[in-house]
């Protein structure tokens, strides 16, 4: 694909012809994008109002991640309104601003200001749930770095272009960027689900809790993955599609909404479970301390469990300190589900597995 060398007057005529043939979509898509972007920003503000009083219960890096993502969302909204004020108001009567990629290309960089913190949040969850694997941590870091690099590259290669004047490199990078996002989302979600699935216990109550956590993990990342898939599909089908601005504008906000929904839901479950951060069953010489990772917080709980021993296929039940990653998604309800649980160690072929 070779770029077309056109002067501003020719570009204006070509833009007018293209937009007049589908004015409702060509003008309506960015207008609806602004509207939906403002709506999502309102949702984010409401989520932040709910989260800020509870932020002190989160660990420091989670507070930083949420703060960066929310600030980037606000910056993105300001940029969107400034860009389309230029198109709708200050350039009123002109068609070229709606086919130019001068502003639209910046969403590659604006997106990653939100996408990278969100992916970092879920990558850290994946790392902890899967036993703090160094290999997994490095692979997650590579995927996140690739997402950031592709976003910046999208901004760089689209500078000065319009929908009629695009190089093959520009189209390839713009299409590959959501592809990298999709792969990273799916990978992080899959590793989180795998780690949670391995944390199943002997209790039906704990397993019901696990199912709830699994569903929340999927729901928090599914919308942003679908939107990224939509961007890639549209670019593959028609790189001149007028609905691209709508998707590009709203894409990063959906990431931020999913992140804040996950963080706030943990606090909501904590409150509903009447968990205060320090739990004990008084008094008992069989009380054991459990460190429960609530995803964004870490609590210390004292639980009473009866002594029991079982010998079958080298299967032993013992009362030990355990890192209950089953409650990693963060809910105080887990305390009630785990009151009568045991730590199960299974030895097979000389290897030890803990559930």
| DSSP element (H, E) containing 62 | helix 60-85
CATH of the domain at 62: 1.20.1070
User: To 10 degrees, what angle do helices 204-237 and 168-198 make?
Assistant: 170
Residues 183 and 71 in one domain: yes
- Report pLDDT for 143: 94
- Report pLDDT for 120: 93
> Does residue 124 lie within any of the structural domains?
yes
Residues 266 and 324 in one domain: no
Number of domains in the chain: 2
> Does residue 53 lie within any of the structural domains?
yes
> Does residue 3 lie within any of the structural domains?
no
If you count DSSP H runs as helices and E runs as strands, how many of each does the chain have, helices first?
Answer: 9, 6
CB 16 within 8 A of CB 95: yes
Residues 96 and 187 in one domain: yes
Distance of CA 175 to the CA centre of its chain: 20
Residue 204, classified by CB atoms within 10 Å of its CB into exposed (0-12), middle (13-18) or buried (19+), is exposed
- Give the C-alpha separation, 134 to 6, whole Å: 52
- Report pLDDT for 6: 65
- Give the C-alpha separation, 254 to 245, whole Å: 15
Residues 61 and 128 in one domain: yes
Report mean pLDDT in 10-residue bins for the chain, 355 residues: 62 83 84 92 95 90 94 94 88 83 87 92 89 92 94 88 81 88 90 81 68 75 83 82 87 91 84 47 38 42 38 38 38 40 40 43
CB 20 within 8 A of CB 27: no
Residues 51 and 157 in one domain: yes
Buried b / exposed e over 141-169, threshold 16 CB at 10 Å, is eebbebbbebbebbbebbeebbbbbbeee
Residues 226 and 286 in one domain: no
> Does residue 75 lie within any of the structural domains?
yes
> Does residue 250 lie within any of the structural domains?
yes
**Residue where the block lists tokens 């689209």:** 158
Q: For the residues of 197-212, what is the DSSP string, one character each?
A: HHT--S-HHHHHHHHH
- Give the C-alpha separation, 318 to 312, whole Å: 14
Residues 252 and 300 in one domain: no
Shortest CA distance to 107 belongs to which of 44, 39, 178? Answer: 178
Residues 211 and 258 in one domain: yes
Residues 86 and 207 in one domain: yes
**Sign of the alpha-carbon dihedral angle for 87, 92, 97, 98:** positive
Residues 188 and 318 in one domain: no
Residues 310 and 339 in one domain: yes
Query: In what side-by-side order are the strands of the sheet with 287-293?
Result: 278-279, 298-304, 287-293
Of the candidates 243, 272, 301, which is a domain's last residue?
272
> Does residue 71 lie within any of the structural domains?
yes
* 169: containing domain: 8-272
């Amino acid at each position: 694909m070779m770029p077309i060398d056109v002067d501003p007057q020719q570009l204006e005529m070509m833009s007018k012809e293209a937009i007049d043939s589908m004015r409702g979509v060509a003008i309506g898509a960015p207008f609806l994008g602004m509207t939906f972007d403002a709506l999502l920003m309102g949702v984010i503000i409401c989520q932040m109002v709910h989260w800020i009083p509870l932020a002190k219960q989160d660990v420091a890096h989670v507070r930083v991640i949420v703060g960066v993502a929310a600030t980037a969302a606000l910056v993105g909204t300001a940029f969107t309104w400034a860009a389309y004020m230029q198109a709708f108001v200050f350039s009123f009567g002109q068609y070229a601003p709606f086919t130019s990629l001068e502003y639209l290309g910046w969403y590659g960089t604006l997106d990653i200001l939100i996408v990278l913190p969100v992916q970092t949040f879920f990558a850290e969850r994946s790392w902890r749930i899967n036993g703090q694997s160094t290999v997994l941590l490095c692979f997650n870091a590579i995927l996140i770095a690739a997402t950031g690099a592709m976003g910046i590259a999208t901004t760089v290669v689209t500078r000065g272009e319009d929908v009629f004047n695009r190089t093959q490199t520009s189209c390839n990078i713009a299409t590959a960027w959501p592809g990298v996002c999709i792969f990273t989302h799916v990978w992080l979600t899959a590793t989180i689900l795998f780690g949670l699935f391995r944390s199943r216990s002997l209790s039906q109550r704990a397993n019901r809790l696990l199912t709830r956590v699994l569903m929340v993990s999927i729901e928090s990342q599914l919308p942003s993955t679908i939107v990224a898939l939509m961007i890639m599909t549209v670019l593959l089908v028609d790189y001149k599609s007028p609905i691209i601005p709508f998707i590009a504008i709203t894409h990063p906000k959906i990431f931020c909404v999913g992140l804040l929904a996950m963080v706030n839901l943990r606090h909501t479950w904590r409150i509903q479970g009447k968990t205060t951060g320090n739990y004990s069953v008084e008094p008992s010489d069989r009380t054991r301390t459990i460190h429960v990772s609530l995803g964004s917080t870490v609590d210390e709980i004292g639980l009473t469990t009866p002594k029991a021993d079982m010998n079958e296929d080298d299967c032993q039940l013992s009362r030990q300190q355990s890192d209950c990653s089953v409650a990693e998604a963060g809910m105080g309800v887990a305390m009630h589900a785990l009151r009568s649980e045991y730590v199960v160690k299974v030895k097979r072929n000389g290897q030890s597995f803990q559930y």
